[in-house]
Chains A and B, each alone.
Chain A
Amino acid sequence: MKKSVFLGAVASTALIAGAAQAQQTLESVMDRGELNCGVSTGLAGFSAPDANGVWQGFDVAVCRAVAAAIFDDPMAVNFVPTTGQTRFSALASGEVDMLARNTTWTFTRDVELRLTFVGVNYYDGQGFMVNREIGVSSAMELDGATVCIQTGTTTELNLADFFRSNNMEYEPVPIETNAEAQQQYLAGACDVYTTDVSGLAATRASFETPDDHVILPEIISKEPLGPVVRDGDKNWEAIVRWTLFALVAAEELGITSANVAELAQGTDNPETNRLLGSEGEMGAQLGLDADWAVRAIAAGGNYGEIFAANIGDQTPIGLARGLNALWTQGGLQYSMPFR
């Protein structure tokens, strides 16, 4: 008798556990009333709290657009700071619904870790930053240098490959967060800080004397950074992916935060109409309201507006569009068609 009770209990707990798994991410986000979004522990321009404690940045804007598409409230986001080491566990365990945290799309992460990269919001590459004083002008002169590096990142692996393939030695100083790395680098505990070039530019912008530091010309890797969701929830994956595409498509179609409300009334362009919900029912297919894209675009503007406001030429970070220009302007940013 005991055995059957035991088996029954096991079976019922298994059912409960299974049911919890099967609940759709969108449903649980809506029940909760806010989106849990994993971001970095602080990288100026990409994701960092401002003076009022409100998270701002290029990656943060993706979270806000998704929250706006779901709730019509870009502020309905609970930001969860994650380190390079904790981010995937946080996503896999359900602590966050999505990651928008300069995370590189790689084979291992996609296939072995079973994460789903929904797209690329920033095409980046790994570079090196050194103090102008040490007089190095190329990464090839870094033999024997001490290099500060964030652990648990692809940069760690690229760095090992770069130095090995060029037959150079180095001394790695593993560090957990960007803030710690900055402190070690400024104290001179390492000669070189390496991470994605966008991260280097953002870090340098927060120095007291940014001009004393140079980013070396070598880009040693491809780092396509994009938002990530858990594997196995097709609908949620689609919501995050197409929200990102909506921001890019908006720039392609000339939709901005200023004119989106007006264009949503209906235009002559059928793709604009489909995107903004005045034609077709794309919102309903995602499980959202018809004006989901309107809200997402209104939250922080289109892709170009978000770029310019957070990391563009006019900001202290001062990154050029480069690879991240629209495909029509020689870049790689390209939205899949809304059809």
Chain B
Amino acid sequence: MSTATEQPHRKVEPKKSFTLSMLLYDQRYRSITIQVFFLFLLMLAAAWLVDNTINNLRAQGQDFSFRFLNAPAGYDISQRPIEYNSQMTHGRAALVGLLNTLILAVMACVLATILGVIAGVLRLSNNWIVGRLMTVYVEVFRNIPTLLWILIFGAIMTEAMPAPSAFRGDDPSASMLFNESVAITNRGVYIPAIIFERDLGTVTLGPVSPSISWLLVIVIVVASVWANKLLIAHATRVQNATGVRPKTWWKSILILLGPLAAYFIFLGAHLQHPELRGFNFRDGVHLRNSLIAMWLGLGIYTGAFIAEIVRAGILAISRGQTEAAFALGLQPGKTMRLVILPQALRVIIPPLISNYLNITKNTSLGLAVGYMDLRSTLGGITINQTGRELEGMMLMMLIYLAISLTISGALNVYNSRVKLKER
């Protein structure tokens, strides 16, 4: 048998009978043997895990069931994007937590992107002070754990801001900002809310019932942006045909803002200022300490990483591109916008995706400052009150996995649209 491996030319001999030892000594089969062996080990480990879990659950007299999701939750949640009270189910509480997770993730992603792009571009600035300041920002924020930043921002909000009672009395020690419209307290920031006098009510869509007025706002904004796109496409066609680009800026402004303004006036929209009543400010929108701490902590921390990604993306474009653009007579701003950034995006987007995923997953640190996200509701209080650790954790992992895959899927589609097309 050993001769077969020593003298490879004999492999081609036809009709050599198969023996078991060839699985180990014959190169044709060896790799398959090894793979089957390790697959077997893997399955064994998985089977052991499952079996052990089932055994231990049985030993504790517990079954595996998701019925707890239909039981009343019994606890309250401070930040409720949808209708919720303590008599609703654990499933509903988990949904509230999920929405809180998504709200925070979107807010932090936006903040991180804005900060990251500004800091990344400015770090390349020829101005020594601006460049060094951005270096300090990047190095300080990305080298200290994000949890500490969250706690620091939380502590600043609770310790350094005035209590609501400080706004009371004839000679209050604290006062509201911006024409009595914004109150910064140690319980969060209160900002004015937009209220419709002629509200259109709500519509029930499965478990949520969003306001029709606000849904229409979204519809109008999308329609306006789409109409504006048509206008610009038309201008480009005219320019291609005649060589003269018609002026569109005032039409764009009218199309983008006109319908929305008319809609707001039609519904009688006005600002509702927060007002101090009883223990706390009422009315307006309450941005809680926990949300602000998480938002700033995650946004500024991840912004430092994005700054480096943006800088790397810009530096990846060869100097020749800028020089060629200048030679064609493009100004520096247009060079950046039309030549450098579109090419840099190809380098920037893939690592940007993983930073967005990091932000989304890091929202689960919310419990540290009492932010009621998915981890704090389903993965925290619900698990604790019902004792369904295994089910709760599995469900939570599945949800995070689904969110992450959706984000990376959507951004991969975008990436394939901006990446270098090889034709």
On A, residues with C-beta under 8 Å from B are 2, 6, 9-10, 13-14, 17-18, 21, 84-85, 88-89, 92, 108-109, 112-114, 134, 142-146, 151-152, 156-157, 159-161, 163-164, 170-176, 183-184, 187-191, 230-232
Contacts and interface: CB of A to CB of B under 8 A. Distances in A.
Interface in B98-142: none
A174 B373 CA distance: 12
B44 A9 contact: yes
Given A134-B165, A187-B159, A232-B60, A113 B387 contact: yes
A14 B51 CA distance: 7
Interface stretch (B274-282, B312-320, B406-414): B274-282
A109 B44 CA distance: 35
Nearest to A170: B76
A145 B187 CA distance: 11
Interface stretch (B208-216, B223-231, B341-349, B377-385): B377-385
Given A21-B56, A190-B187, 17 more contacts: A6-B43, A9-B48, A10-B44, A17-B55, A84-B384, A89-B389, A109-B387, A112-B387, A114-B61, A144-B277, A144-B282, A156-B76, A160-B76, A160-B86, A164-B86, A171-B78, A230-B60
Contact of A14 (B55, B372, B389): B55
Interface residues of B, number: 46
A146 B165 CA distance: 12
10 contacts: A6-B43, A9-B48, A84-B384, A144-B280, A152-B384, A152-B385, A157-B75, A161-B86, A164-B85, A188-B163
Contacts of A134: 165, 279
B59 interface: yes
Nearest to B286: A171
B77 interface: yes
Interface of B: 40, 43-44, 47-48, 51-52, 55-56, 59-62, 74-78, 85-87, 158-159, 163, 165, 186-187, 277-280, 282, 289-290, 367-368, 370, 372, 376, 380-381, 384-387, 389
A21 B55 contact: yes
B372 A18 contact: no
B65 to A, nearest CB: 11
Contacts of B387: 88, 108-109, 112-114
Contact of B158 (A113, A163, A174, A189): A189
A13 B372 contact: no
B288 to A, nearest CB: 8
Closest 10 CB pairs of A and B: A160-B86, A152-B384, A113-B387, A144-B278, A188-B163, A189-B158, A174-B370, A145-B279, A157-B74, A187-B158
B60 A85 contact: no
Given A14-B51, A18-B55, A114-B61, A160 B74 contact: yes
A170 B368 CA distance: 21
Contacts of B48: 9-10, 13
A156 B85 contact: no
A231 B61 contact: yes
Contacts of B87: 164
Contacts of B278: 143-145
A189 B40 contact: no
A189 B380 contact: no
Nearest to A109: B387
A231 B58 CA distance: 12
A176 B367 contact: yes
Contacts of A88: 384, 387
A171 B282 CA distance: 11
Contact of B279 (A13, A144, A230): A144
Contacts of B279: 134, 142, 144-146, 191
Contacts of B380: 85, 151-152
A277 B74 CA distance: 48
A261 B200 CA distance: 81
Contact of B376 (A17, A112, A161, A174): A174
A232 B58 CA distance: 11
B163 to A, nearest CB: 4
A62 B262 CA distance: 71
Nearest to A174: B370
Nearest to B166: A188
A175 B47 contact: no
Nearest to B370: A174
B381 A152 contact: yes
